[in-house]
């Protein structure tokens, strides 16, 4: 140990370097994020959870859902549509320019589309270079012609319907602890509130997964239910020949409220999407009779 100070300095710098890299720089980068305006939809995202849904996160944790389900949507890439939003005064020249950049379209379709004031998508599912080139060619015509680029997220997760766009840091503002998950033995749950908006479905699924999803590997969570003589949220589950009429306990209700609050949010600044993508209507009412 004749180089004690040197060893100390070496260890000190190695540890502080990782602290700077793993703790400090992410904090500086995304530590001050706020809920955002969801662009043109006039709502805030993410919305804080309240009541049952907030408590449900702890039930989700305790039940170990995170060991088989992730909550992060990946995005492989982005493809673009190109739309004509305003034909301007040289409509015929614009139609010719569109036919030159996309000869697959018929002349009748194009001249019809140029006359349509609500926007005419003349190119679909192309990469940025192609879209940019097409916009420049059409823009060259002049006369107040206007085109718009419509970005569409793509990727395996999005194709599976797990979300409309990738997850970003802002989506997790009210998650503590964040249940990102690393295993996908079951599907991703980022958007489960939109995909399965029916609380009764969730109750049946949690009680006996196989009865609603054939061949499901998920275990039943029957301790979240009781056989009480109550009407509220009661569901009837048919296992084999037996019919079970069960009522969720408080924890079961909280977990389902949490699941229904999981929504792959609307468009944010950092995740451009087509304007038409709107969030689904609010949580559906549970089916009181539990009828399938």
Partner 1 sequence: MSDEAKNNDLNPAEDREPSVSDVAVPMWMMGLLIVLLWFGMLFLDQRAGGFDEQVYRPYPSLAFVENLSVTDPPSIARGRALYNVNCAGCHQSNGGGVSGQFPPLRGSDWVTAPKADRLVRVAMNGLKGPIHINGESFNDAGTAVMLSVGSDNKFNAEQMADLLSFIRASKDIGNSSPMVAPDDITDAMAAAESRGKTPWTEAELMAIPVE
Q: Should residue 272 be labelled a site residue for partner 1 when binding is judged by CB under 8 A?
A: yes
- The footprint of partner 1 on this chain (CB under 8 A) covers a number of residues equal to 28
Instruction: Give the CA distances from residue 29 to residues 20, 23, 32, 35, in Å, rounded to whole numbers and listed in that order.
Output: 12, 10, 8, 16
Q: Should residue 282 be labelled a site residue for partner 1 when binding is judged by CB under 8 A?
A: no
| Interface pick for partner 1 out of 89, 169, 185, 228 (rule CB under 8 A) | 169
Q: Should residue 17 be labelled a site residue for partner 1 when binding is judged by CB under 8 A?
A: no
Task: Tell me the closest approach of the beta carbon of residue 146 to partner 1, in angstroms.
Answer: 12
Q: Should residue 151 be labelled a site residue for partner 1 when binding is judged by CB under 8 A?
A: yes
Q: Should residue 121 be labelled a site residue for partner 1 when binding is judged by CB under 8 A?
A: no
| Interface pick for partner 1 out of 70, 72, 75, 102 (rule CB under 8 A) | 75
| Interface pick for partner 1 out of 168, 234, 256, 260 (rule CB under 8 A) | 168
232 or 270: CB nearest partner 1: 270
Task: Tell me the closest approach of the beta carbon of residue 30 to partner 1, in angstroms.
Answer: 5
Task: Tell me the closest approach of the beta carbon of residue 277 to partner 1, in angstroms.
Answer: 12
Residues 6 or more apart whose CB falls under 8 angstroms from that of 50 comprise none
Subset of 39-58 contacting partner 1 (CB under 8 A): 39-44
| Interface pick for partner 1 out of 8, 67, 223, 269 (rule CB under 8 A) | 269
CA 231 to chain centre: 34
Q: Should residue 229 be labelled a site residue for partner 1 when binding is judged by CB under 8 A?
A: no
- In sequence order, the β-bridge partners of residue 123 are 82
30 or 217: CB nearest partner 1: 30
Q: Should residue 166 be labelled a site residue for partner 1 when binding is judged by CB under 8 A?
A: yes
Instruction: Compute φ and ψ for 38, nearest 5 degrees.
Output: -90, 65
Residues that bind partner 1 (CB under 8 A): 1-3, 29-30, 33, 36-37, 39-44, 75-78, 149, 151, 166, 168-169, 269-272, 275
């Amino acid at each position: 140990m004749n180089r004690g100070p040197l060893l100390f300095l070496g260890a000190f710098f190695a540890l502080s370097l990782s602290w700077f890299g793993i703790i400090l720089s992410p904090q500086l980068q995304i530590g001050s994020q706020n809920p955002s305006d969801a662009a043109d939809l006039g709502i805030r995202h993410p919305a804080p959870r309240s009541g049952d849904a907030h408590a449900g996160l702890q039930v989700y944790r305790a039940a170990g859902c995170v060991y088989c389900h992730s909550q992060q949507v990946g995005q492989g890439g982005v493809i673009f549509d190109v739309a004509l939003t305003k034909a301007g005064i040289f409509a015929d020249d614009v139609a010719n320019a569109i036919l030159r950049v996309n000869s697959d379209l018929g002349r009748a379709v194009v001249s019809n589309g140029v006359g349509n004031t609500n926007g005419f998508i003349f190119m679909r599912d192309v990469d940025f270079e192609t879209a940019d080139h097409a916009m420049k060619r059409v823009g060259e015509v002049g006369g107040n012609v206007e085109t718009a680029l419509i970005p569409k997220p793509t990727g395996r997760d999005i194709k599976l319907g797990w979300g409309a766009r990738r997850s970003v840091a802002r989506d997790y503002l009210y998650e503590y602890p964040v249940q990102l998950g690393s295993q996908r033995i079951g599907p991703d749950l980022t958007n489960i509130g939109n995909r399965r908006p029916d609380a009764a479905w969730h109750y049946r699924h949690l009680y006996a997964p196989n009865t609603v999803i054939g061949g499901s590997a998920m275990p039943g969570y029957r301790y979240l239910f009781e056989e009480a003589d109550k009407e509220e949220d009661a569901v009837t589950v048919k296992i084999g020949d037996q019919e079970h009429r069960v009522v969720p306990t408080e924890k079961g209700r909280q977990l389902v409220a949490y699941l229904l609050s999981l929504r792959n949010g609307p468009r944010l600044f950092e995740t451009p999407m087509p304007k038409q993508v709107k969030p689904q209507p609010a949580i559906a009412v549970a089916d009181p009779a539990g009828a399938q």
